Amino acid sequence: FPPRLYGTQIIDRDLNVIRFYQRLQGASKNSLWSSNVALSVLAAMAPRHAAHAVDKVGGITHILAPGKIPIYIRGDSDPSSAAKNAWDLLIPVMTNRHRADLFFLYPARGNGKHAWCPSWDQVNGDLPPASSFHLDGDVSYREESGLFECEGWLMKDCVLQGFAKPDPDGRCRTGTLRLVHADAEHSFSVAAHHQEPIPDGSYVLIGDRSIVGPDGIVWAVGAFNSDKRFEKLSVL
């Protein structure tokens, strides 16, 4: 190569590239493949500026879906619509672990294409702080049917009480869960680390498949619809 390629400017640039990949490699080993990452990534991206709204989805995609990047249209004529469409395309190609973050840790019902995870409008709204709970669950995607599946604990006909109203000071709320098993009624203490209302009533709970630890198990709260598919309302 000509000697000019080994000038100070080129060397500085190459060192910066090396440092970038070292930081990326360290981040991926320490955090990107662990649980509780997806909400942290979304919260970090929400306040950032992009020339095109859809480019923010592209940035998220490189972190949460490193194996396959979907094709999307920038759509300058309708940037908001383009970003929403790109987000919907990202959900099926996310890793199973990152989808589990959205399912078990995002406390509200999705108001977009999917009820089990936040819409793009919700992503750009007030996201809850990242949770410290450890998750072992996965939410997989079946491309042939277009369905999302979760393997975990299942409890039906659970009566929840104590979460109909938010706490005035924004503190963690506690309530009770009651169910009947083997002709006996059992009662458990449950907690909501968010302020989304869950009206008193009977629900279906899907739990992360982790073994019970000091913090218990994280549960998605909802009900089965007429198609026998789970519709999420909140989390506990």
DSSP string, 71-104: -----TTSHHHHHHHHHHHHGGGS-HHHHHHHHH
More confident residue, 222 or 56: 222
Average pLDDT for 43-71? 82
Q: Which of 91, 73, 109 is CA-nearest to residue 231?
A: 109
**What pLDDT is recorded for position 122?**
93
More confident residue, 169 or 128: 169
Using the predicted structure, report yes or no on whether residue 112 has a pLDDT greater than 80: yes
Highest mean pLDDT among 43-47, 120-124, 213-217: 120-124
Average pLDDT for 138-148? 92
Cα angle, residue 117 at apex, residues 113 and 123 outer, rounded to 5°:
90
Q: Which helix (H) or strand (E) holds 22?
A: helix 8-27
pLDDT digits (tens, 9 = 90+) for 153-187: 999 999 999 999 999 999 999 999 999 888 899 99
Tokens of 160: 């929840």
Q: What are phi and psi of 180, to 5 degrees?
A: -110, 125
pLDDT band of 36, cuts 50, 70, 90: confident
Average pLDDT for 56-65? 86
End-to-end distance of the chain based on CA atoms, in angstroms? 62
Highest mean pLDDT among 7-16, 78-87, 215-224: 215-224
pLDDT band of 2, cuts 50, 70, 90: very low
**What pLDDT is recorded for position 104?**
93
Give DSSP secondary structure letters for 152-217.
Answer: SEEEEEEEEES-SS--TT-PPEEEEEEEEETTEEEEEEEEESS-----SEEEEEEE-SSPPBTTB-
Using the predicted structure, report yes or no on whether residue 35 has a pLDDT greater than 70: no
Q: Is the pTM of this model over 0.85?
A: no
Please state, rounded to an integer, the average pLDDT across all residues of the chain: 82
**What pLDDT is recorded for position 140?**
94
Using the predicted structure, report yes or no on whether residue 202 has a pLDDT greater than 60: yes
Length reported for the chain: 236
Cα torsion angle, 223, 229, 234, 236, sign: positive
**What pLDDT is recorded for position 5?**
41
